[in-house]
Structure 1
Amino acid sequence: MNRHEHHTPATTDTEATDGGRRQLLSAAGAASLALLAPRLAAAQAGDTLKVGFISPRTGPLGSFGEGDGHVLELVRKALAPGLNINGKTYKVELLDRDTQSDPARASQLAKALINGDKVDLMLTTSTPEVVNPVSDACEAAGVPCLATVMPWEAWYFGRGAKPGQPSPFKWTYLFSFGVANFVKSYVSQWNSVATNKKVAALLPNDADGNAIRAAMLPELAKAGFTVVDGGPYETGTTDFSAQIAKFKAEKCEILMTFPIPPDFATFWRQAAQQGLAKTMKVVQTAKTGLFASTIEVLGPLGLNISVAAYWHKDFPYPSAITGLSGHQLADGYEKASGKPWNQQLGATLSLLDAGLAALKSSSHPKDRASVAKALSTLQTTTMMGRLDFSKGPVPNVSATPMIGAQWVKAPAGSKFKLDYVITENAGDASVPVSRKLVPYA
């Protein structure tokens, strides 16, 4: 044999056995991993809390959701290390969705989060058009839901609860203002200006408008005001001449409104053209006028409009999850967005704080019934103030105060056109008043 030829060494019995053993071990390992994978995934799912968050980011109600992205980012950052509950650390996934201001879409989004994403808790905010359909979907599916920012009567009675009867709701809860909170703020605000006490009421034919009409107008009459109801109008109305003529004929000096922002802009421009605006001493808006963007579009007509605030940066309560004060939250948003702060920032952060407080106080945060039970007795302080679901005014509801505020010209040197100042604090004496109400005209 040529000395340059190579022999292939024969495989020994021992080596063959070792190779076979390695293959077997490798196959066994792969099989074990395959068997273990679902358990690992389940363990991971068991350590993750999924929280749905539904709000209007676009569409006619989009001004409510303007700051939601900023607030969610702050909370995600604060939750990055996880949430410690009963000595166990959970990862928290916030799944946020935009209703595009469409009630049908709000319902669809809620059902997708419930059935597809299997959320452990649902959070929702901003007007009955968003909150009611989401709450109804959660109630039907047995998913705990916490909501804010809509009159509680339109949520509780508007969804089928009856006065004096047990609550029909087991899974859905709301902390928000109600008629009594509006009345307290409005009476305190209106009595600070000399008027003939005649109130022009512009109320739409929707859940908000009808709840306010039924519950609030009688309370204002009891407080000594004469209410002139312009009658229920449909959202999207383009001609308010009949209502304006009625308010002028009755010589009303106070205006009280609950329209969506585009409808108020239409009404108020027509009121100015037809001579009503110049006779008004108080122009009180709700649902619109909450944010600088909806006042700025009115130009000079927006100055001195008053609004009851459900949150203001001067509220003295910090956020539990982020540790931020109201001023820190507002300043951070202005710096990040280049837009003026708005009151929904504090409300959205309050909703997230309260939802996380409920998860923390539940005995089993992955058990929906346990979370619903925690919501039913929840007591915590948010940026909006103290919440206490054991007090009512009805089951499933914790009422929050409204504080009188007014849009005025921003001080010299401000990078924004308007300033939003607190003018009365009958609902919460801890909130500082910064100036007296200025008559509109």
Structure 2
Amino acid sequence: MNKTQTNVGRREVLRAGVATAAGAALPMLARAQSDTLRIGVVSPTSGPLGIFGEGDGHVLELVRKHTAGGIEAGGKRLKVEFIHKDTQSNPVRAAQVAKELINSDKVDLVLSTSTPETVNPVADACEAAGIPALSTTSPWEAFYFGRGAKPGEPSPFKWTYHFSFGVGNFAKLYADQWSKVATNKKVGMLLPADADGNAIRGLLIPALQKAGFTVVDAGPYQNGVADFSAQIALFKKEGVEIFNTFPFPPDFAVFWRQAAQRGLAQQMKIVQLAKAGLFAAELDALGTLGHGLHAGAYWHRSFPFQSSSTGLSCAQLADSFEKASGKGVNQQLGATASLFDAALAAVRACPNPKDRAAMAKALATLKTETAVGLVDFTSGPVPNCAPTGLVGVQWVRAKPGAKAKFDVEIVSNADHPRVAVTSQMKAYAMGRT
């Protein structure tokens, strides 16, 4: 055999060896991939909605630690990998990162949270790609009807599911909470021209009118506006004593400082916030103007529930965040934990979580306890959505030694009777209650 033949022979052997090794590796790689469930997580951790995502990293760290050994699903143990992406509070980026998770990261399930600006574009991307998705913390009407579903018609959604409070929860909560302070029952509504504002305007205003309130709607405004003088003048002229709004958090601070300067804040007896006024940092920035403000809360450290994805009670979850961050507790903490609670419960109930259709069916039939209470997709009110309860709260000055300047007390539980009231509601009095 000549030298050339020898070299060729060696190359053949080497090539065959590489091919054999690659062939042996392929089943191992496929097996590794089939044993790992990849879950994408999308939320705003920067930008004007970034305060919603302040605790998301902490919750995800707790969930990763609690599921480090994998989870049982479909008769076998699956590893779980979470990939978290920030929307920067931009709906366009929310859709972009969802597509990255689907096309580049090859996730099996997508989770998203915090306002329609996040969950709607993420859900639309998942629906188009046929990827199961679960979301929370946005009125369910904004998720369902805001994405094109029609009342009384079959659901157009096969892959995307959402649990959260809805307009009906707000109506029930407000009717009870506002009865606890004597007013003229005139309500000034400040609603933006966005998915939240449109859903609230079309559904909550009629419900409040039916409950006996006179509603003064200042009309839609653009998020980020710097001058609210026209709306303030209208509310002063109409003599409203109840104020209700669903703005981006920074916009309320602008409005309320102007309202105090122009004498409107002194006129109000109830200042009811949603979307804004949820977090202690917002109240800290308002100073004395924040004391006595009212809100609805979808989670509180005193909720009597357990988070299965973290292994912690609600009180323990709050304590863990405060210890790790040095900040006051953020109510989105429990809602984000509930998203993982519900998602992992659906995974455990699914015969094959790597099968998209099977995973979507597991979401559609999910009924489980979470950090915010019961999540039940089997009872409506519409397909793809499950409502959760709200409690009425009031911001008060925190006790000495607290992590934040303000604390929040539960003053109304008509919409969530499993949660105990912690204090009596008082009228707002220009920060002097």
TM interval, short-chain normalised: over 0.9
**Matches of 1:89 and 1:24, distance apart in 2:** 41
Structure 1 residue corresponding to 2:350, chosen from 350, 359, 362: 362
Counterpart in the other structure of 1:400:
388
- In the TM superposition, 1:33-52 aligns within 5 A as 33-52=21-40
Determine if the alignment matches structure 1 residue 145 to structure 2 residue 120.
no
Alignment of 1:378-397 (within 5 A): 378-397=366-385
> Distance in 2 between the 1:396 and 1:334 partners?
34
For residue 62 of structure 2, the aligned residue among 60, 70, 74 is 74
TM-score by length of 1: 0.93
Task: Name the counterpart of 1:192.
Answer: 180
Kindly provide the CA deviation profile for residues 250-297 of structure 1, in whole angstroms up to 9, marking residues without a partner as x. 110000001101111111000000000011000001101111111211
- Matched position secondary structure for 1:423: strand
State the shift of 1:25 in Å: 9.5
Shift, 1:81, TM fit: 0.6
Provide the rounded CA distance (Å) in 2 between the counterparts of 1:321 and 1:205.
36
Q: Which moved more, 1:410-419 or 1:342-351?
A: 410-419
Give the corresponding residue for 2:5. none
**Residue 281 of structure 2 contacts residue 404 of structure 2 at CA under 8 Å; is this kept in 1?**
no
Which is worse superposed, 293-302 or 119-128?
293-302
Any conservation in 1 of the 2:306–2:313 contact (CA below 8 Å)? yes
Distance verdict in 2 for CA 1:264–1:25, change over 3 Å? same
Q: Could you tell me which of 395, 401, 406 is aligned with 1:418?
A: 406
Please name the residue that 1:159 is paired with: 147
1:352 matched to 2:340: yes
Correspondence for 1:124 among 85, 88, 112: 112
* Aligned twin of 2:220: 232
Question: In the alignment, which of 251, 260, 275 is matched to residue 248 of structure 2?
Answer: 260
Q: Distance in 2 between matches of 1:187 and 1:91?
A: 47
1:285 to 2:237 alignment: no
Once the two structures are TM-superposed, the CA of residue 33 in structure 1 deviates from its matched residue by 2.0
Whole-angstrom distance in 2 between the partners of 1:221 and 1:439: 22
4+ long deviations beyond 6 Å: 23-28
Residue 439 in 1 paired to residue 427 in 2?
yes
Q: Cα deviation per residue 1:122-170 (whole Å; 9 max; x = unaligned)?
A: 0000001000000000000000000000011111001000000000000
Tell me how far 1:185 sits from its aligned partner: 0.9
- Structure 1 distance, partners of 2:332, 2:349, is 25
Q: C-alpha separation between the residues in 2 aligned to 1:377 and 1:123?
A: 17
Aligned to 2:260: 272
**Which whole-Å CA distance do the structure 1 matches of 2:314 and 2:27 have between them?**
44
2:197 to 201, 209, 224: 209
Give secondary structure in 2 for the equivalent of 1:63.
helix
Q: CA deviation at 1:84?
A: 1.1
| CA deviation vs aligned residue, 1:30-65 (integer Å, no higher than 9, x gap) | 543221112211110000000000000000000000
Alignment of 1:3-82 (within 5 A): 30-82=18-70
Task: Give the SS at the match of 2:85.
Answer: strand
Counterpart in 1 of 2:304? 316
Q: CA deviation at 1:299?
A: 1.1
State how far apart, in whole Å, the 2-side matches of 1:234 and 1:26 are.
67
TM-score, normalization: structure 2? Answer: 0.95
Q: Which residue of 2 aligns with 1:295?
A: 283
Deviations 1:42-100 (A, max 9, x none): 11000000000000000000000000000000000011111111331111000000000
Contact 2:37 2:78 in 1 (8 A): yes
Deviations 1:157-199 (A, max 9, x none): 0100000000000000000010110111111110000000000
- One-letter amino acid matched to 1:382: T
Report if aligned partners of 2:142, 2:199 keep a CA contact under 8 Å in 1: yes
Counterpart among 166, 171, 176 of residue 164 in structure 2: 176
Once the two structures are TM-superposed, the CA of residue 349 in structure 1 deviates from its matched residue by 0.6
* Rounded Cα–Cα distance in structure 2 between residues aligned with 1:297 and 1:138: 37
Match of 2:312, SS state, is coil
2:3 maps to what in 1?
Answer: none
- Does the 8 A contact of 2:327 with 2:403 survive in 1? no
> 2:42 and 2:404 mapped to 1: Cα distance?
29
Correspondences of 1:106-125 after superposition (within 5 Å): 106-125=94-113
Q: Distance in 2 between matches of 1:34 and 1:373?
A: 36
Q: Once the 2 structures are TM-superposed, how far is the Cα of residue 413 of structure 1 from its aligned partner?
A: 3.5
Letter in 1 for 2:128: A
- CA distance in structure 2 between the aligned counterparts of 1:351 and 1:414, rounded to whole angstroms: 28
Count of aligned positions:
420
The equivalent residue for 1:4 is none
Deviation at 1:338, TM superposition (A): 0.3
Distance 2:22 2:269 in 1: 74
CA distance in 1, matches of 2:401, 2:151: 52
Letter in 1 for 2:174: Y
Deviations 1:397-417 (A, max 9, x none): 000011101110112343421
Residue of structure 2 equivalent to 1:328: 316
The CA deviation at 1:219 is 0.3
CA distance in 2, matches of 1:34, 1:153: 51
The CA deviation string for residues 360-391 of structure 1, in whole angstroms up to 9 with x for no partner, is: 11111100110001111100010111011010
Q: How far does residue 28 in structure 1 lie from its aligned partner after superposition? A: 6.4
Give 5+ residue unaligned stretches, structure 2. Answer: 1-10
Mark the runs of 5 or more structure 1 residues left unpaired by the alignment: 1-22
Instruction: After TM superposition, give the deviation of residue 304 of structure 1 in Å.
Output: 0.8
Q: How many Å separate the matches in 1 of 2:217 and 2:416?
A: 29
Greater displacement, 404-413 / 246-255: 404-413
> CA shift at 1:29, angstroms?
5.8
Equivalent residue in structure 1 for 2:416, among 428, 436, 439: 428
1: CA distance between counterparts of 2:35 and 2:168? 42
Q: Structure 2: how far apart are the matches of 1:380 and 1:29?
A: 52
In structure 2, what residue type is equivalent to 1:149? T
